[in-house]
Structure 1
């Protein structure tokens, strides 16, 4: 009796009742007493304040997201990655399509030409056919029935050949040589735009079929797929030296440099911008527009085609519940991070290994699950990918550099910071 009364008035039940009232108010098309903006603010404030309990409730009962709790995706930052992924998968497959209706995508490929052969077989298929069709792949001159293993290997080889320099589609980011950015000179390949659309379809198909790809892209490309605005800080990943210049312009008066709002493009680009002088009044606009060109405009055709292929398989309104770090995990999976190995390969600067902040840092990492560890690694290094050689093979601007933790002097209440590219090493800065 006591137990049943206690459960009836548990904190979770109380939060659920309050949330349902908030959701009912928010979902109401009109309220005679409360402006729409105030209702939305109430929803965001409430869900932010009760994030932990809400995630626990959804984790214990995922079906809640099929009802009124689905409105939580209107404030997706409150949902943990696992809960988002479960909701995403449920919504993605909620309308069953008969495999027989769309047929089997059966074709043969040569191991050395998996990318080209697959492109030729699939380019005439519609997005719906690729999305719902069952893949059945065979390698030339090899025996075996594809019960799943061959398709898995096909995805792995295809992912590697996407980045083959001979295709000229992608180039490694200068910061780490592990992540990739669309190549602005991909036009040397006559079929490059069709190839980019194909790459987008492959990524979408892998997500739809629950396959993981060993593909890691620049943060800015994930932001584009999520239709997020450009962040000039993403330039650091693609071009660290240019980013340093933009940072200086952002924080200083660039008038003596005689800069103008003009892009120095290569001979095949056609850029016409007014020769407006860059001053302290418009330096931040200049930095934003420069980042826009570097990350988006200079490779617009490439990313537009990749996005088009991706959205043919994955609904745009559904994928945007993730942030860029989570999208990387959705595409490439959660790595198995050995915290002891990471700790052994780390240098401390301004701290000793026995200082409380260092002890707390590693203790916290060891207590995290795989998803949280991957997010911390992505925050600290720019990607959740662990090099094949382990943490001792982490790449910096100047080659292999160890991960380091530096003391951040000043306000002890400041949050940890990460510098993924501006310094020779990968470094995290912890407050006193």
Structure 2
């Protein structure tokens, strides 16, 4: 499996997102002109992207008035830094309308439960108030530091396996637990969906307040948050081994090899149940002719259908806090950085824990690569780690503890073959970057940066 560049022809069949509503940035442009009328300017912006982004950096309000508003049709042309600055400016403008306070008193050992019961009845307007947190039996006035700590502790508790709301996936990411119904409590009048709405509100409020939280979701879940369609390749971030099996299924002749029907096995508290992926699926055999449909449906079931109620509850809370039209300017990789912040990436540590295949540390292209990496800013370093590993999260123990499909797996650079116009490709199952033997540092930089900025959304087979 490798990541595709934006210049590749996609062979993916998009899976339906949780909601079929069109995102605002896919609709008419801000000035109401049809897309055809915008094309000359967009072509200009494509050619002069660096200059355009310098102008935006000097005044992000240009995205609200004048010709640069047309960029909201194609937010990929806007640098992440500028998107983030624009997002913060709009949130600050909205927050000026809310002057209330939001005070909570929580026990540190019961922070999730206490916060939930004190905030669940608040209106969206009240939730936008200035948060003030007091930890039980702890001295100190909240001048901002206590609130930041509350967000961090809340993030850890949200993914606590004892709460059973989210489950870890193949890497360091999480997605909703399909069996989260175990959290239903009729005596207290709560159910698991109430908790998901609450978590959505907390994540949304963190964005609204400009607070960073240690929360890393699967790529498919970020896409749900953005209202973007999924592709079956996104399941790699949920279950790398299962993705590998689906890859094998698509690439090989199934005749007399695999006996499958359009049914998915579901583990419901130790009891195996069978769910039909389409009407009459129990009686429909998977063949070479319909195996692509099977792969799409089984991937959709795992990433959407089986957890649809949990996703919808989370999104209801999330979008109460963050305007959907504002958040949709980001892609899934950028949304992770917006929520969790830019990681501290130690290039020396990354280099010390990199294996080479087909190259050696002394190979010219490898020397070019590390020179380019050292010249990257924080945003591009984070995109590089995302591109190769699937998430910007760096293990606490450093890159020596990087995980792959079968356990610990170092960062890898493999020699690729073909034209020097070929973009670098990544195999996130194996933390692997493929590089052809570029003839110069400048050529490597151009191809790598194009892959990171234009080819980091979507997957395909090469």
TM-score interval, smaller chain? 0.7 to 0.9
Q: Give the corresponding residue for 1:181.
A: 175
Q: Give the corresponding residue for 1:115.
A: 112
Q: Does 2:258 correspond to 1:271?
A: no
Q: 2:52 aligns with which of 51, 54, 59?
A: 54
Q: Distance in 1 between matches of 2:213 and 2:80?
A: 18
TM-score, with structure 2 as normaliser: 0.81
Q: Distance in 2 between matches of 1:129 and 1:367?
A: 44
Q: Distance in 2 between matches of 1:253 and 1:41?
A: 44
Shift of 1:37: 5.1
Q: Distance in 2 between matches of 1:114 and 1:96?
A: 26
Q: Does 2:395 correspond to 1:387?
A: yes
Q: Distance in 1 between matches of 2:45 and 2:208?
A: 29
Shift of 1:51: 1.5
SS of the aligned residue for 1:263 comes to strand
Shift of 1:40: 4.5
Larger RCO: 1 or 2 (CA < 8 Å, sep 6+): 2
Question: Where does the alignment leave 5 or more consecutive residues of structure 2 unmatched?
Answer: 1-28, 185-190, 438-462
- Judged with a 3 Å threshold, the aligned counterparts in structure 2 of structure 1 residues 105 and 29 are, in CA distance, closer, same or farther, namely closer
Instruction: Give the 5 Å matches for 1:193-272.
Output: 193-256=193-256, 257-266=258-267, 271-272=275-276
Query: How big is each residue's C-alpha offset from its partner over 1:364-394, in whole Å with a ceiling of 9 and x where there is no partner?
Result: 1111110111011110111111111111111
Query: How big is each residue's C-alpha offset from its partner over 1:196-247, in whole Å with a ceiling of 9 and x where there is no partner?
Result: 1111100110011110001111111101101111121111121122111211
Instruction: Give the 5 Å matches for 1:154-173.
Output: 154-173=150-169
Q: Give the corresponding residue for 2:382.
A: 374
Q: Distance in 1 between matches of 2:213 and 2:226?
A: 18
Q: Distance in 1 between matches of 2:136 and 2:31?
A: 59
Query: How big is each residue's C-alpha offset from its partner over 1:14-50, in whole Å with a ceiling of 9 and x where there is no partner?
Result: xxxxxxxxxxxx77757xxxxx453354444333222
- Judged with a 3 Å threshold, the aligned counterparts in structure 2 of structure 1 residues 245 and 67 are, in CA distance, closer, same or farther, namely same
Shift of 1:153: 0.7
Q: Distance in 1 between matches of 2:146 and 2:121?
A: 23
SS of the aligned residue for 2:110 comes to helix
Q: Does 2:80 correspond to 1:86?
A: no
More off after superposition, 397-406 vs 263-272: 263-272
Query: How big is each residue's C-alpha offset from its partner over 1:68-116, in whole Å with a ceiling of 9 and x where there is no partner?
Result: 222211100001001111111222232344444xx32112111111111
Q: Distance in 1 between matches of 2:181 and 2:75?
A: 38
- Judged with a 3 Å threshold, the aligned counterparts in structure 2 of structure 1 residues 84 and 161 are, in CA distance, closer, same or farther, namely same
Q: Distance in 2 between matches of 1:218 and 1:170?
A: 11
Higher relative helix content: 1
Q: Distance in 1 between matches of 2:35 and 2:345?
A: 43
Q: Distance in 1 between matches of 2:395 and 2:35?
A: 46
Report the structure number with the largest CA radius of gyration. Answer: 1
Instruction: Give the 5 Å matches for 1:403-422.
Output: 403-421=411-429
Q: Distance in 2 between matches of 1:137 and 1:96?
A: 19
Q: Give the corresponding residue for 1:33.
A: none
TM-score, with structure 1 as normaliser: 0.86
State how many pairs are aligned.
Answer: 395
Q: Give the corresponding residue for 1:431.
A: 436
- Judged with a 3 Å threshold, the aligned counterparts in structure 2 of structure 1 residues 296 and 28 are, in CA distance, closer, same or farther, namely closer
RMSD of aligned alpha carbons: 2.1
Q: Give the corresponding residue for 2:63.
A: 65
More off after superposition, 325-334 vs 360-369: 360-369
Q: Distance in 1 between matches of 2:165 and 2:95?
A: 35
Query: How big is each residue's C-alpha offset from its partner over 1:139-192, in whole Å with a ceiling of 9 and x where there is no partner?
Result: 111111111111111111111100111100111112x2x211111111111122
More off after superposition, 268-277 vs 209-218: 268-277
SS of the aligned residue for 1:195 comes to helix
Q: Distance in 2 between matches of 1:62 and 1:387?
A: 34
